[in-house]
Structure 1
Amino acid sequence: MELTVGPNQFFWPAEDWSAFYGSLAEAPVDRVVMGELVCSKRLPFYQERIPEALALLTEAGKEAVLTSLSLVTLKRERKHTADLAAMGVTVEVNDLTTLAYLPKGMGFHVGPLVNVYNEGTLAWLASLGATRICLPPELPLSSVRTLARAGRELGIAIEVWGHGRLPLAISGRCYHARLHKRTKDNCQFACENDPDGLDVKTLEGQPFMAMNGVQTLSHSYACTDYQIEALADAGVSALRLSPQSQGFTRICQNYRGRVTGVLAPGAIAADVQKASPQTRLSDGFLTGPSGVAWSAGPIPS
């Protein structure tokens, strides 16, 4: 299987953003999706750095892809979406309104925020020019197997969310701004203080989810360490690794080791929890009774 790095979901300083994508040029991954997925207000801080990053990754032999926004509501967001196709780079669609701005016959990818739950939707997207689809992360292995088979018949590569906090919802309101008693238009970019999202706990103090501006994420980090052989057998062509601020190159190296058979099942999880004991892992959407379940047993508190 190949490895795809998904778009960064968080708001990082421009220098950190550039350093991250510079490091990916040497990382053992096949494909990198970049650009703004969550909030268009973040884009001006690093937008001028995107062409240089695209060139660097392309020169390093990676396939470079640009993401659309996950929620397009404003005029400037519509203009940004229209401009994506003019950059001469494959576009990953994470909001179906993006399709209206792509030239007819132009191939595109589909991200995990588009609800591709059945063969009919997959076939419809294929008819419009989709060549690669990353399935929504909440699908069980049985559905992944069915869609991977349908994708193979249609000539579409099927990806599955491999590692990282799961995207659960996008809202018109900004949770970070509300927390700091600010309006969305005057958020002062409070989300920058939480480079991997802000943990949210229940009233009883139990970890529940994470917030990232207008986005809701899982508290746990999805990890397909114990499911890689089953996913490969199902016909999945690539795993998607979602950026995080610490140790990401190591994660890429470990997943490369797993998909090539150099590392045994459990090696990724053990390394993650050695480096960050407080990190909770999950793979329950694929095989468990609930999304937060973890194949290796009880989730660390």
Structure 2
Amino acid sequence: MTSAAPQLTLGPVLYNWPAEKRRDFYFRIADEAPIDVVYIGEITCSKRAPFFSPYIPEVCERLEAAGKEVVLSTLALVMSRRERKELNELASESPRPIEANDLSAINLLRHKKHVIGPFVNVYNEGTLEHFYESGASRVVLSCELPSTSVAQLGKAANGRELEVQTFGRLPLALSARCYHARSHNLTKDGCQYVCELNPDGMDVRTLDGTPFLAVNGTQTMSYTMNSLLGELDHLKEVGITHFRLWPHDMDMVEVAHLFRNVLDNPEDSKKSLGLLQEIVTIAPLSNGFFHSTEGFRMVE
């Protein structure tokens, strides 16, 4: 178990928000949120990246001036020559740490300080140790791991930095095809950026109308909103050092305050969970994966 203070992190925005909205979101995070580490970058679709790229230097400076660590995140699925070229440039030129979300990025960052992102599957102690030995300063665990596996990996980390996804829709899978475009009878190349219509992802329903997934461009996500707010104290005990919130189109500053409060005062978890349920209106909360059951369930 590590004695360092628990770190609250904010993952990169997974959705297609307008560039100015994303900029203002990060400015507010810098000024008001008790976040320690902020990840920035386009994870889902490289076509979105040029819109926000001009704002990244200003956003990074604002966050760092507020005392937050900034990590630049890479695409989770690198397919084209252009994407490989951009990844090479980021790996060789970035003055900031990089979160590698694809194996091609890991190869470029070998023996440099970097973070292994949640889109690289780490399921066992051997894989975890391999990435630490290759230069990773922190590893973000996959979202579907049960508490027993998290505890084993926490023990294997032996005080080194280990991060768990504790809030938000869970990223489950990525595809070369764009579900959002197809749902509007468009092609991926001519998508017209229709994913911007759904700032928290588009709900997917079964034939009988029951919502069970969400899609975000090429990404499949959980319909429910993962919350490990009530499990934070246990996660600290088993060696987790960093606790990730995924950004959503809601009051993320207040969400961050609730998680920060429970990290510091575990006895407030029940009250804070009630307040979190009032903030999250797009879908029910869930924690099933962590408790070795269906991911959509909420285990008290």
Place the TM-score, normalised by the shorter chain, in its bin: over 0.9
Write out aligned runs for 1:1-301 (5 A): 1-26=6-31, 27-85=33-91, 86-102=93-109, 104-152=110-158, 156-261=160-265, 264-277=268-281, 279-296=283-300
Provide the rounded CA distance (Å) in 2 between the counterparts of 1:24 and 1:277: 21
Q: CA deviation at 1:262?
A: 6.8
| Cα offsets for 1:64-89 (capped at 9, x unmatched) | 00001000000111111112121211
My pick for the range that moved more, 39-48 or 50-59, is 50-59
Residues 258 and 276, structure 2, Cα contact 8 Å, conserved in 1:
no
Q: CA deviation at 1:247?
A: 1.0
CA separation of 1:76 and 1:204: change in aligned 2, threshold 3 A: same
Provide the rounded CA distance (Å) in 2 between the counterparts of 1:229 and 1:87: 35
CA separation of 1:50 and 1:277: change in aligned 2, threshold 3 A: closer
Residues 233 and 266, structure 2, Cα contact 8 Å, conserved in 1:
no
My pick for the range that moved more, 255-264 or 221-230, is 255-264
Provide the rounded CA distance (Å) in 2 between the counterparts of 1:220 and 1:269: 15
SS in 1 for 2:213: strand
Provide the rounded CA distance (Å) in 2 between the counterparts of 1:268 and 1:172: 39
| Cα offsets for 1:51-108 (capped at 9, x unmatched) | 1111111111101000010000001111111121212110001101112323x53111
**Deviation above 6 Å: which 4+ runs of structure 1?**
none
Provide the rounded CA distance (Å) in 2 between the counterparts of 1:55 and 1:73: 30
Provide the rounded CA distance (Å) in 1 between the counterparts of 2:106 and 2:11: 20
Q: TM-score when scaled to structure 1?
A: 0.94
SS in 1 for 2:204: strand
CA separation of 1:181 and 1:277: change in aligned 2, threshold 3 A: closer
SS in 2 for 1:97: helix
Unmatched segments (≥5 aa) in structure 2: 1-5
Provide the rounded CA distance (Å) in 2 between the counterparts of 1:163 and 1:56: 24
